[in-house]
Amino acid sequence: MNGYVGFSNYPNQQHRRSIKRGFNFTLMVVGESGLGKSTLINTLFESRVYPPKDGDDSSPRSGAQVAMPAGVDITSVSADIVENGVKLRLSVVDTPGFGDAVNNDEAWRPILENIESRFDAYLAQENRVNRSKIVDNRVNVLLYFIKPTGHGLRAMDIEFMKHLHTRVNLVPVIARADTLTPREVEQFKAKILADINFHGIHIFKPVSDHFDDPETISDNKAIASKIPFAVVGSEQYVVRPDGTRVRGRQYPWGVIEVENENHNDFVALRQMLLRTHMEELRDETDVSLYESYRTQKLLALGH
């Protein structure tokens, strides 16, 4: 999997033509500083977003390339990735400063505004006479990083999700899951899901319909059962008992491997985002989230 993202393998054939022309995928990450957002992005996209230093493609990227600018502004990095003749323009939008203030009551607001302004930009282009060159910067998925406290969602998390869930595909992740025991992770997941349910928050979930083949149905079930994904990211390599080097985190009692499905949910998250559900996330953004925003906006304008 080294250096290979895998989006070109996703199975949906009916979009072959648009895929050939190339497509955009925009992923936003939100969570307090220090929860491992940049580390996870680097781990997810291997060297594709932040290329390795010349002549060294096995070591982690340099700090300068990895670091996102600090502050409260919303920043974006893009990379063109070509795989099997398929071109993907991947943009990662980071939100440094989110949740770091003393009072975070309004922390959701700049992020909602950013997502809506991308809808507005798209809408403005749709209304132009020449619509052949529409640039699509709409956010297709938002990874919301939950602090591994073990105590369920905090008020800030709930407020954020309640304000954003009708505008973006929300994917909650438990950050730095290696700081909890497997039992704590299970209990924490149950509490988070109960909170999400209680507050009527809609999160993105793979769902099957009767057109799906049995394999897809079981893949969807397996992925859905992991939500909220408990993830571990690392830019370090560790040596496994059999001598192979893999991404992971070293502890006195052993290693946690990033890409081991028994150790954390990183692989399931990557599978969903980049292989099995990339197209569905784009569709959901376009057909459902954007459409409802557009309708509300036009009604408000009296059209």
Chain residues in the site for ligand GDP (CB under 6 A)? 31, 33-39, 176, 178-179, 232-233, 249
Q: Tell me the closest approach of the beta carbon of residue 168 to ligand GDP, in angstroms.
A: 19
- Read off φ and ψ for residue 245, nearest 5 degrees: -100, 125
Q: Tell me the closest approach of the beta carbon of residue 81 to ligand GDP, in angstroms.
A: 21
Q: Tell me the closest approach of the beta carbon of residue 15 to ligand GDP, in angstroms.
A: 32
Task: Dig out the tokens for 98 from the structure.
Answer: 């989110």
**Unique residue bearing structure tokens 């954390």:** 264
Residue nearer to ligand GDP on the CB measure, 56 or 100: 100
Q: Tell me the closest approach of the beta carbon of residue 34 to ligand GDP, in angstroms.
A: 5
Q: What ranges make up the beta strands (E) of the chain?
A: 23-30, 75-83, 86-94, 141-146, 170-174, 229-230, 237-239, 245-251, 254-257
Number of residue whose CB is nearest ligand GDP: 36
Residue nearer to ligand GDP on the CB measure, 167 or 176: 176
Residue nearer to ligand GDP on the CB measure, 31 or 228: 31
Q: Tell me the residue length of the chain.
A: 303
Residue nearer to ligand GDP on the CB measure, 35 or 238: 35
In our burial notation (b when 16+ CB lie closer than 10 A, e otherwise), range 267-277 reads bbbbbbbbbbb
Residue 64, strand partner residues:
none
CA distance 123 to 225: 36
3-state SS, residue 58: coil
Q: Tell me the closest approach of the beta carbon of residue 250 to ligand GDP, in angstroms.
A: 10
Q: Tell me the closest approach of the beta carbon of residue 234 to ligand GDP, in angstroms.
A: 6
Task: Dig out the tokens for 238 from the structure.
Answer: 């560790």
Task: Dig out the tokens for 164 from the structure.
Answer: 């954003």
Residue nearer to ligand GDP on the CB measure, 39 or 276: 39
Of 278, 276, 245, 250, nearest in space to 263 by CA: 250
Residue nearer to ligand GDP on the CB measure, 78 or 125: 78
